[in-house]
Structure 1
Amino acid sequence: MKQLVAALAVAAAFHTPSYAAAKPGSADARFTAIYTAEWKWRQQQRLEDEEDDVKGVESGMPHVGAAVQMERQKKWEETLRQLESIKPAQLSSKERVNYQVYRAQISALLDNQRFREYEKPLNGDSSFWSNFAAEARRTFHTKEEYRNYLAQLNDVPRYFEEEIANMRAGLARGFTPPKITLEGRDKSISSVTEAKPEDVVFFQPFRQMPATIPAAEQEALKAEGLKAISGKVIPAHAELLKFMRDEYIPHAKVTLAAESYPDGKAYYQSKIVEFTTTNLTADQIHQIGLDEMAKIRGEMQEVMEQVGFKGDLPAFLQFLRTDPQFYAKTPEELLMRAAWIAKKFDGKAADYFGRLPRSRFAILPVAPEIAPFYTSGRGGPGGYWVNTYNLPARPLYSLPALTLHESAPGHAFQMPLAMEQKGRPPFRNAYISAYGEGWALYSERLGTEMGIYETPYEVFGMLSYQAWRASRLVVDTGIHAKGWTREQAQKYLMENTALSSHEVMTEVDRYISWPGQALSYYLGEMAIFEARKKAELALGSKFDIRAFHDTVLELGSVPLPVLKARIDEFIAAGGKSPYPKE
């Protein structure tokens, strides 16, 4: 904990704005002009990456070729030069916060361009083609949206060609996901090439169309959709499949470490900064992980004693992984249990949160073509996706923690609430992993206070998930900076968490192919708990958990030093809610 606080203090010394009052002036106007122009350009480039389900349907696919990528690098280099000409002390209080968020965002975007991250548009978790397939699961409402979607389908060959060219460039310089993490990933491509046009996911929007579109037009749109899928989409996937099987996977890099990439040490450190918003080193993070794992194992031992288990931790983990009482028998049972847990939260929400998001979320199964390699669940605006593939790998005792993390008060709660805030520039809706994942993991622990966990086994499931995220600090740095093998990482997770062997394998491959992202969760949670502890000690009886949570969530997604500074302001103001009483 001391290392994290020190790292946040260092980051804050360089970047954290003071919250003292300042009069708006020319610095505000210059800064506003910079981010307004860049955001407009970013929208034109289709790089805004908004988590908003109500955004329109774009006409055609994005441009991602090498020339476009160089233009983006130059644009962000110029933007960063412009930002450095502004002194944060001259900005108003509100714009100083915006400045820190925006500068960190531009720095991360620029680092990704400099390291040519676009030459590796896939990892063990997702890929450019699976991201496009997700577009087909959206609901279209108008004829114009269907027309734009048809333009996307017809533009797939050009888009895939550009992505393949980028991947070839990455392959030539050893910048690919490690080969072991690519095994079997071609199945999500062959699921398209081996199906009839009307059976692929891309035809899904045409199966049930809005009644506001006349029947004759519906039939015409369906015919155009089938033509585009059979003539453009499936052949493009066939070319991609050939490239993956004949060229990319066979020649992908064998080494695992991010530090084995070109300029690897600097690359991995850039990922640490991007995903943790701190200046911690790999060695420091590794040690934090080891220290935190020791604490969590002590809590696990207490639960084992509570249930009267006679044996050591490995024996208890084996019991949890194999006893049928802990597993759903059908996908529907798993989904229904998730729904029940989500509704339990609804009954307690008002005691812990003053402001609730207006938007709702659905509980849905993960799509079958990606489920075998997908994480156990994922949440965001409008949805909580539960992986119902391989039910013996989906323990019910971990479902409460998973649900709190992915639905409410985690991702499907925090993200919409942030987007509902008024008076902020649109770049503030960009997702910062240390904050977002830190909050979601904090939500899991919060479930103990809220009474969500009903059995000691469910408490252990929460602790296992805490250990899972703490162990990521050890495993991610172990793999990418300390020479750990894949088997070594798998063994560490198997020995320290109740995750199934299937989940351990998919998770480790995710960490191998996505350097640094796994570090977000636990470091973010630690920062939130540290801020809460500070507020509780300073405010005493004046501390209101609802006001604290509202303050953290009202910020939206921010670097951890900004969160720290905002809670200092919250304390100085006497622990008042950010929302006026209505």
Structure 2
Amino acid sequence: MNKKLGAALCAAGVLVFATLPAHADSGAEQRFKSIYTAEWKWRQEKHLARDDSSGASRELPHEDAASQAARLAYWQGVLAQLNAIAPADLPPPERINFAVYRAQIAALAEALRFHEYEMPVNADSSFYTNLAYSARSGYKNAQEYRSYLHQLGEFPRYFDEQTANMRAGLARGFTPPKVTLAGRDAPLASVADAATPQDTIFYKPFKQMPASIPAAEQEQLRAEAVAVIRDQVQPTYKRMLAFMRTDYMPRARTTLAAYALPDGKAYYQSKIVEFTTTSLSAEQIHEIGLSEMAKIRAEMMETIRASGFKGDLPAFLQFLRTDPQFYAKTPQELLMHAAWVAKKFDAKAGDYFGYLPRRRFAIVPVPDDQAPYYTAGRGGPGVYLVNTYNLPSRALYSLPALTLHESAPGHAFQMPVAMEQKGLPPFRRGYISAFGEGWALYAERLGSEMGIYENAYETFGMLSYQAWRAARLVVDTGIHAKGWTRAQAQAYLHENTALADHEIETEVDRYISWPGQALSYYLGEMAITKARHKAEAALGPKFDIRNFHDTVLQLGSVPLPVLEARIDQFIADGGTNPYQEK
């Protein structure tokens, strides 16, 4: 573990509870519960609480400036109430809840303080691409379909509010860099220019409806869908498309760095805190990245020698990027390879995990309108999305690492485990990037122990992905704090990873327009690996990898200092997991 990272974790002392006294003040516990209970109810009333347990569409929140200011005032008030509670006065389980909750509220307030809502579009995602996910949900009954139709009817109001915010961002130079917005209007065009409502993504849920809904009611719902898409959704998308093409994209800022934004240095530091849950500075993270890259480079060279290849790293990377043996010829072939890796994990799962999630996942291609600018894959509860666009950029040797990261034991495994834990307050269902992305990257490394990688090329693919995430520490801070150019960032990834140039371009644009998020992965993996090594050293023959993994995952998504403290308790308990299924 890098000493700077360890020091930064300890610096967040308010979150580290393992060394606090075990006594509790029932008054403090009740005050804390009343605070988060009231806030969560308010969050639900304002339609800000996301519930992934149901396919039903939720109400769209109000995004106007007055609503944003009211939220900021409310959450700042919640923080003031939390600051009046000493974590030492809470029982141990509530100390975990307090640490998670306070970090969550602080991040929400900071985003509002910097008016982040004025930039609801970036190279990776946007409010309008996020809305399309409701169209890919499965609705179970007529009420859920009506809820979905109601949401579609809210699009004009919702888009008008987002447009007003974007205009405010334009006026003060708070936009994504212009270079990262090229082509990001395509999802808008796919709806605005569709020949009929039935040709849009938003009609998809009506093409195959549950048989439990009577045929006559199905036809009525379909007719309502056609009307609302024709009269509300498509005109809204046409207006937004015109705004993007004639106003927003041409006038977006030409600078790249977060430091160049209004109050940019403080803004970037707030994103570091949010995405890493540490107090590290940009300079410290940059140095950690350079140090870790050197270690991974040594592993890569060993693997090249093991492959039998005669040549240096640049020659090997060129070989991997150009030899046809490493690339699928059809989208179906790529999807089948991904499915094969996922099933290889299933054969080994019981040896490394005691608790297996009930929820399964599907493997599906990234939608066509998003694929050209999307990552290689993405996973979550119930789904592993595989990008089949531009097959020469989707290397088979890196597919095993990608699959472990996005499906199981990564995101499509970790998130359901967290969601299935009983007795947790609703705010614990949230996602903390440093933990979630750190775990998924750790899952890639775990593949070596599990025997998932079948040859030196696949092992190199895993190492290339490790280097990719370590390089993010260098590139993200280089762009946002050290004045790096887009070309400089692309060159760094080209020289240090086996990523295809197309993927390098889309990834760098994502880092440019989403400051700090790229820092989550490697710092999170380092914290999990440090915790494991500490437990192995302390417990010796008592260490059980299943208990360790279950303890980490059943904790849910938490700040890294909370994870560190929980593993200290795991060690003190002799390596047992009280939640282990018998």
With normalisation by structure 1, the TM-score equals 0.98
Instruction: Answer yes or no: is 1:198 the counterpart of 2:198.
Output: yes
Figure out how many residues of one structure are paired with residues of the other and give that number: 579
Q: Distance in 1 between matches of 2:62 and 2:251?
A: 26
- Structure 1 residues 487, 581: closer, same or farther in 2, change over 3 A? closer
Tell me by how many angstroms 1:56 deviates.
3.1
| CA deviation vs aligned residue, 1:275-319 (integer Å, no higher than 9, x gap) | 000000000000000000001110110111111211111111111
| CA deviation vs aligned residue, 1:434-490 (integer Å, no higher than 9, x gap) | 000000000000000000000100000000000000000000000000000000000
Instruction: Answer yes or no: is 1:349 the counterpart of 2:337.
Output: no
Tell me by how many angstroms 1:573 deviates.
1.0
Q: Distance in 1 between matches of 2:21 and 2:546?
A: 25
Q: Distance in 2 between matches of 1:528 and 1:223?
A: 52
Counterpart of 1:22 in structure 2 is 23
Counterpart of 2:411 in structure 1 is 411
Q: Is the Cα–Cα contact under 8 Å of residues 290 and 474 in structure 1 kept in the other structure? A: yes
Tell me by how many angstroms 1:48 deviates.
1.9
- Residue 490 of structure 1 aligns to a residue in which SS? helix
Counterpart of 1:397 in structure 2 is 397
| CA deviation vs aligned residue, 1:417-440 (integer Å, no higher than 9, x gap) | 001001110101110000000000
Tell me by how many angstroms 1:15 deviates.
2.6
Q: Distance in 2 between matches of 1:578 and 1:460?
A: 38
Tell me by how many angstroms 1:187 deviates.
1.3
Q: Distance in 1 between matches of 2:487 and 2:126?
A: 24
Q: Is the Cα–Cα contact under 8 Å of residues 341 and 452 in structure 1 kept in the other structure? A: yes
Tell me by how many angstroms 1:154 deviates.
1.5
Tell me by how many angstroms 1:509 deviates.
0.2
- Residue 17 of structure 1 aligns to a residue in which SS? coil
Counterpart of 1:545 in structure 2 is 545
Q: How does 1:107-506 map to 2 (within 5 A)?
A: 107-196=106-195, 197-506=197-506
The residue type paired with residue 397 of structure 1 is Y
The residue type paired with residue 168 of structure 2 is A
Counterpart of 1:66 in structure 2 is 65
Q: Is the Cα–Cα contact under 8 Å of residues 550 and 578 in structure 1 kept in the other structure? A: no
Q: Distance in 1 between matches of 2:244 and 2:56?
A: 32
Tell me by how many angstroms 1:272 deviates.
0.2
The residue type paired with residue 151 of structure 1 is H
Please provide the CA RMSD for this pair: 1.0
With normalisation by structure 2, the TM-score equals 0.98
Q: Is the Cα–Cα contact under 8 Å of residues 55 and 139 in structure 2 kept in the other structure? A: no
Tell me by how many angstroms 1:522 deviates.
0.1
The residue type paired with residue 92 of structure 2 is S
Tell me by how many angstroms 1:53 deviates.
4.4
Q: Is the Cα–Cα contact under 8 Å of residues 547 and 578 in structure 1 kept in the other structure? A: no
- Residue 384 of structure 2 aligns to a residue in which SS? strand
Counterpart of 2:36 in structure 1 is 35
- Structure 1 residues 308, 581: closer, same or farther in 2, change over 3 A? closer
Tell me by how many angstroms 1:55 deviates.
5.0
- Structure 1 residues 137, 581: closer, same or farther in 2, change over 3 A? closer
The residue type paired with residue 227 of structure 1 is A
Q: Is the Cα–Cα contact under 8 Å of residues 435 and 557 in structure 1 kept in the other structure? A: yes
Q: Distance in 2 between matches of 1:578 and 1:500?
A: 45
Q: Distance in 1 between matches of 2:116 and 2:47?
A: 17
Give unmatched runs, 5+ long, in structure 1.
Answer: none
Q: Is the Cα–Cα contact under 8 Å of residues 355 and 580 in structure 2 kept in the other structure? A: no
- How many percent identity over aligned positions? 67
Q: Distance in 1 between matches of 2:25 and 2:581?
A: 27
Q: Distance in 2 between matches of 1:359 and 1:21?
A: 36
Tell me by how many angstroms 1:24 deviates.
5.2
Q: Distance in 2 between matches of 1:218 and 1:532?
A: 53
Q: Distance in 2 between matches of 1:346 and 1:448?
A: 15
| CA deviation vs aligned residue, 1:36-55 (integer Å, no higher than 9, x gap) | 000111111222234x2425
Q: Distance in 1 between matches of 2:15 and 2:299?
A: 36
Q: Is the Cα–Cα contact under 8 Å of residues 352 and 545 in structure 2 kept in the other structure? A: yes
Q: Distance in 2 between matches of 1:221 and 1:131?
A: 23
Q: Is the Cα–Cα contact under 8 Å of residues 527 and 560 in structure 1 kept in the other structure? A: yes
Q: Distance in 2 between matches of 1:154 and 1:549?
A: 45
Q: Is the Cα–Cα contact under 8 Å of residues 376 and 394 in structure 1 kept in the other structure? A: yes
- Structure 1 residues 488, 123: closer, same or farther in 2, change over 3 A? same
- Residue 47 of structure 1 aligns to a residue in which SS? coil
- Residue 574 of structure 1 aligns to a residue in which SS? coil
The residue type paired with residue 123 of structure 2 is G
Q: Distance in 2 between matches of 1:464 and 1:258?
A: 27
- Residue 154 of structure 2 aligns to a residue in which SS? helix
- Residue 385 of structure 1 aligns to a residue in which SS? strand
Tell me by how many angstroms 1:201 deviates.
0.4
- Residue 183 of structure 2 aligns to a residue in which SS? coil
Tell me by how many angstroms 1:581 deviates.
5.6
Tell me by how many angstroms 1:134 deviates.
1.2
- Residue 364 of structure 1 aligns to a residue in which SS? strand
- Structure 1 residues 201, 580: closer, same or farther in 2, change over 3 A? closer
The residue type paired with residue 481 of structure 1 is A
Q: Distance in 1 between matches of 2:281 and 2:49?
A: 29
| CA deviation vs aligned residue, 1:224-260 (integer Å, no higher than 9, x gap) | 1111111111110000011001110011011000011
Tell me by how many angstroms 1:20 deviates.
4.5
Tell me by how many angstroms 1:16 deviates.
1.3
Q: Distance in 1 between matches of 2:383 and 2:511?
A: 24
The residue type paired with residue 14 of structure 2 is F
The residue type paired with residue 375 of structure 2 is T
- Residue 445 of structure 2 aligns to a residue in which SS? helix
The residue type paired with residue 539 of structure 1 is L
